[in-house]
Amino acid sequence: MRMTLMWSVNDLPAYGMTFGWSTAGILGRPICMDDIRALSAARNKKAFTKNRRNKVAHLRLTGDQILNWVANISPAVEMPLYLPDGYGSNCNWTKKSSFSDPPYLSTLLIRYNLDVMHIEKNIFDNIFNIIMDIKENTKDNINACRDLKIICNHCELELDERRPNVMPKAVYTLGKEQKKRVCE
């Protein structure tokens, strides 16, 4: 009997844990690899793409190119003694996944899939929490407002210097009556 791994389906954090490309930080987009076109928000430590217009699509790496990247990295079953050269600046590989062992894997057009339903749920939760202004579940916080002042030109969302710990109400958050209507 023979068995073949055709592809896997993961959400982004599981993709990072399973296949060894850390999905956190400025190099957190596995498709982009070392092509950095983002800047880091100082207070939130998140990658942020300021201008998305007029960008050329990233070239998809072949399976052989990916295997060359991970050739000298410790396998996932071993504790790595060191991180690879260039880690964090042009490479985010943390381990060589056992999923990269099958010889046919480099020839597959689709190797890894992202779980769209899981990602959709996370996006819905984030948007819903922001619109409904649920303080403990939103990423729209004081540090985000401080980063906006540096990154974007949205004066209406910047903190008032006279009251630095009070966030201005964003136009996209609902008022009390609007929230009641949504919940009815």
Q: What is the tens place of the pLDDT at every residue in 39-61?
A: 555 565 555 555 555 556 666 66
Q: What is the mean pLDDT of residues 169-182?
A: 85
State the average pLDDT over residues 111-115: 62
pLDDT at 25: 66
Domain end, chosen from 68, 86, 113, is at 113
Q: Are residues 90 and 151 in the same domain?
A: no
Residues 32 and 109 in one domain: yes
Provide, rounded to the nearest whole percent, the portion of the chain with pLDDT above 70.
39
Query: Both 109 and 63 in a single domain?
Result: yes
Torsion of CA 8, 14, 17, 21, to 10 degrees: 80
Question: pLDDT: is 106 or 48 the higher one?
Answer: 106
Q: Is residue 65 pLDDT above 60, yes or no? A: yes
In this structure, are 77 and 100 located in the same domain?
yes
Range of the domain at 171: 116-183
**10 is written with which tokens?**
């993961």
Report how many domains make up the chain.
Answer: 2
Q: How confident is the model at residue 103 (pLDDT cuts 50, 70, 90)?
A: low
Token look-up 């008032």 returns 160
Structure tokens at 141: 């916080």
Task: Give the model's pLDDT for residue 29.
Answer: 65
Assign 21 to helix, strand or coil.
strand
C-alpha Rg value of the chain to the nearest Å: 21
Residues 18 and 72 both lie in one domain: yes
What is the model's pLDDT at position 47?
Answer: 52
- Same domain flag for 72 and 35: yes
5 and 92 assigned to the same domain: yes
The verdict on 11 and 97 lying in the same domain is yes
Mean pLDDT of 133-140: 78
In a shared domain, residues 75 and 130:
no
Task: Tell whether 6 and 91 lie within a shared domain.
Answer: yes
Per-residue confidence (pLDDT) for residue 122, from 0 to 100: 80
In the beta sheet, which residues pair with residue 47?
Answer: 40
The pTM assigned to this predicted structure is 0.44
Check: CB of residue 94 under 8 Å from CB of residue 83.
yes
**Which has more pLDDT, 160 or 79?**
160
Mean per-residue pLDDT, 64-86: 63
Is 60 exceeded by the pLDDT of residue 183? yes
CA gap 80, 59 in Å, rounded: 29
Same domain, 48 and 104: yes
Q: Show which of 72, 94, 113 is a domain's final residue.
A: 113
Comparing 174 with 2, the larger pLDDT belongs to 174
94 and 21 within one domain: yes
8 Å CB contact between 76 and 98: yes
Please identify, among 113, 143, 171, the residue that sits at the C-terminal boundary of a domain.
113
pLDDT at 134 over 80: yes
Contact between 108 and 63 under an 8 Å Cβ cutoff? The reply is yes
